[in-house]
Chain A
Amino acid sequence: MTLAEIVKRLNLKVYAGEGGLARPVSGGYAGDLLSDVIAHSRKDQLWITLQIHPNVIAVAALKDLAAIVFVNGREPAPETAAQAEKERIPLCGTTLSAYELAGRAYALGLLEK
C-alpha cells in the first residue's frame, strides 16, 4: 500500500514531504519514546506518535521510516516541517488518537510484509 493511499483512506492531513507520498508502506509502529522507536520500528513503517519536535526527523531518517503521523490533532513545529522537507520525510496528521489511528490502519490491511 502506498502512503498516498493511506492518506486518502484515513483522511490524513499532509504537512510536509509530499514528494514521498508514492512510497510503499509496510506496517507501522506507535510510540513516543525515541529510543523505543529506534529499537523496535522497522524500515518502511508508518510511525504514529504525538511527539512534534524536530528530533523525530532524525529518528525517522535513521530508521528509513516511510512517514510520521501526528495524532490528537497535534501539528508539527515549523522547524520540524523544515527538517522533514530536507530529509524528505512525509509528515501527516490526524485528530484521531494513536489507538484509533492504529486500529483503522490495521483494518485497512496495513500489515507487515
Chain B
Amino acid sequence: MGEESAFRQEFPVTGGDFARAGKVSCEIKNLAKELGLSDRVVRRVAIASYEAEMNIIMYAREGRLNLSITPDRVRIIVEDSGPGIEDIELAMTEGYSTATPEMRELGFGAGMGLSNMKKNADIFEISTEVGRGTRLEITFLTNGQRA
C-alpha cells in the first residue's frame, strides 16, 4: 500500500486553549489503538502527539496535527502559525524553556517536550521560520507489526 492509500486525519489545535489541552493526543492515541498498532507504537505516538499539541497551545496562534498511517509507518506532520523558533539547537536542549510563570505553575515548561518527541520517534525533523511558524515531521516505523 502506497502513500495514496494511507489512513489520514487532521486535528486542528488552537493556541492558548489550555482547556482542551491533551484532547487531540488522547484522540490520536485511541485511534492508533483501534487501528491495531502495537502497545509500544501507540505509547510513542501518544507521547509525541501530546508534546506537539502542547507546544502549539503554549506558543503558537493556531496549528494542526496531520496523522497518516500506512502498514509500515505512522507519521505526524505538525504545522503551526506562530513566532517560530530562533535557535532550534537551544530549543532542543533539555531544560531550556521560554514557558511563562503561569504555564510553569501548571507543570509545563520542563523544557523536555521536543526531546521527548525526538526520543520516541524513529525520524524527527524540525524546520521553522521566525515570525511565521514551525513544522515538525515525526515518523514511527512499525514494520507492518500489529498488536
Contact = CB atoms under 8 A, between A and B. Distances in A.
| A, B assembled together | yes
Nearest to A49: B107
A60 B22 CA distance: 10
Interface string B88-100: 0000000000000
B140 interface: no
Interface residues of B, number: 24
A63 B111 CA distance: 19
Contact of B50 (A32, A36, A51, A62): A62
User: Looking at A33, A36, A57, A58, which has the most chain B CB atoms within 10 Å of its CB?
Assistant: A58
Contacts, number: 68
B46 interface: yes
B107 A39 contact: no
B19 to A, nearest CB: 8
Contacts of A49: 107
User: Looking at B21, B22, B23, B113, which has the most chain A CB atoms within 10 Å of its CB?
Assistant: B22
B106 A35 contact: no
Contacts of B46: 62-63
Interface in B37-57: 43, 46-47, 50-51, 54
Interface of B: 18-19, 21-23, 25-26, 29, 43, 46-47, 50-51, 54, 106-113, 116, 119
The A interface is mostly helix, strand or loop, or mixed, namely: helix
Interface string A29-70: 000111110110001000001010111111101111000000
A39 B106 contact: no
Contacts of A53: 106-107
Contacts of A32: 107
19 contacts: A33-B108, A34-B54, A34-B110, A35-B51, A38-B112, A38-B116, A39-B116, A49-B107, A51-B106, A53-B106, A55-B106, A57-B22, A58-B25, A58-B50, A59-B50, A61-B29, A62-B46, A62-B47, A87-B26
